[in-house]
Structure 1
Amino acid sequence: MVAGTAVRRRPEQGFTPGDAVEDHLEEAAKRHPERKQEGCSEQVAQDVKQSMAPPSPPADAHPLIIDAYLQILLEQSASDLILTAGAPPTMRKDGALVPIAPDPLRPDQIEQMAKEVSSPERWARFQAQGDLDFSLNWKGLARFRINTFKQRGSVGMALRLIPYQIPNFDQLGVPAVVRGLTRLAQGLILVTGPTGSGKSSTLAAMVNDIVAVRPCHVITIEDPIEYVYRHQRGIVEQREVGADVPSFADALRAALRQTPDVLLVGEMRDLETISAAITIAETGHLVLATLHTNDTTQAVDRMVDVFPGDQQQQVR
């Protein structure tokens, strides 16, 4: 089992929240020349100022506002963006929370931004469920994993940056022994760690290493799809829970009919998924998966604990 690790960068100095948003207005307007004929520059400036103003009567948020926030996230090498009513838009950089605008957001502004990055189908699913996970390709620069949720009757959002470039083992600082694990033909490899510790990045590096050197068939089951792989010596197929298949368990049941050599399970959450992953690993396949635990000992205990008491000794 491999504990996840995260890439850390040194914080940059001289970041000023208000100036950062203003600096991106002109550039954002240039990316939407069609709006210039509509008096865009004045409207954009007005809308962004409204987004940083104290609560006032509802007004539509402009799509360039969230673009400016995401651009700041990239430039500051931050990992997350948090949007919640009554608080300023805030990024997570090197583990610390840093506001990127001085004033709080209104509920209607966050709801409008959530609609702008969601398809009509996803928005309908969010309205029905109250929680939604999906990924977003943003301007060919990066992908974001987005969680939209409801809190105190209003919409909130948490966005995590997923670079297009899949990190390699050296960039992640992963021990050399991990490369040897990717050469295994069968078995179960767990990448464990708390939220934000680098589990997804470590799994992505492992899959990318496998398809670079082995002529094999890889199937990933993710919620949502984060890193996008390209076919190399190996072929990679990526299935997203909720979009391509109803659940992890359903995807695993179908997987053996798709002749995989390697399976990636984004997260093992329940008895059915864990049981299926173990069975697939025992039948001659290599399974890579993550668990939200602090260490490998807890990972084994958590896997065993999901089974009924009369089966736990056998699982061990």
Structure 2
Amino acid sequence: MKLNEWSVGAFQLTWLKGGLTKLDGGAMFGVVPKPLWSKKYPSNELNQIPLRADPILVEAYGKRILIEAGMGNGRLTDKQKRNFGLEEESQVIEALAAKGLTPADIDIVVMTHMHYDHCNGLVSVQDGQLVPTFPRAVIYVQEQEWAEMKEPNIRSRNTYWEDNWRPIEQLVQTYGEQYEVLPGITLHHTGGHSLGHAIVRMESEGELVLHLADIMPTHSHHNPLWVMAYDDYPMTSIFAKEQWIKSGIEQGAWFTFYHDAVYRVVKWNEKGEIIDHIEIEL
């Protein structure tokens, strides 16, 4: 299995194959007209765009951290597979095995939010029972996100599922506005895409990496105004993107992605031009 690996500062990052969906491009780009977004990101004749769901394994300080959890396996009905455009289920366990690891070797899982396409992989089906995929891991979830996960509203109940939180609740640790998981690896609450959405900031040896998760799901969402119709609080997304992208570029940051089907990592200059990148290899 081909693994995309990248070293930055003292951190080793590996993207694990967590699944592939094809969703409506209009929904993914909100009010942006197709003649504009279609120049920036590939689409098919059905107006669908490819979106990966690839967790990032971060190895640092003798710990193994997973950012996001993938689509999982056997977690969707046939109807859900059609509706969500699922083309490929998770191969996270196989990817870990290719590195000589098992799910029990994961120490920490960082969840930017708990929508099904990010957290299905936290739960596995074994002997007809739902069990934690990463049984030894502490799972970090922003406190407002966890509260809504357990008591979703009329809109969010379509993506926050009891089967995704009840099996793991003993492993979850919540936090407020900011939390340092390990030295240089910090979670920041942004809201926007969901009430408790968070991003991951990683800094080591003078290198800065920002994982903006679903407030910038692909490199084509670089424009702060290009936000998804899926965002619960789009203006919050816009303000958070504007702040983090601007400050990140000023600091020479790398930007990583979970959903992008083209790039793993991108670096922009202040004109918004891509000046360095790592493309996906599958």
- The structure where strand makes up a greater share of residues is 2
Is TM-score (shorter-chain normalized) higher than 0.5?
Answer: no
Larger radius of gyration: 1
TM class by shorter chain equals under 0.3
Q: Normalising by structure 2, what TM-score? A: 0.27
- The structure where helix makes up a greater share of residues is 1
Q: Normalising by structure 1, what TM-score? A: 0.25
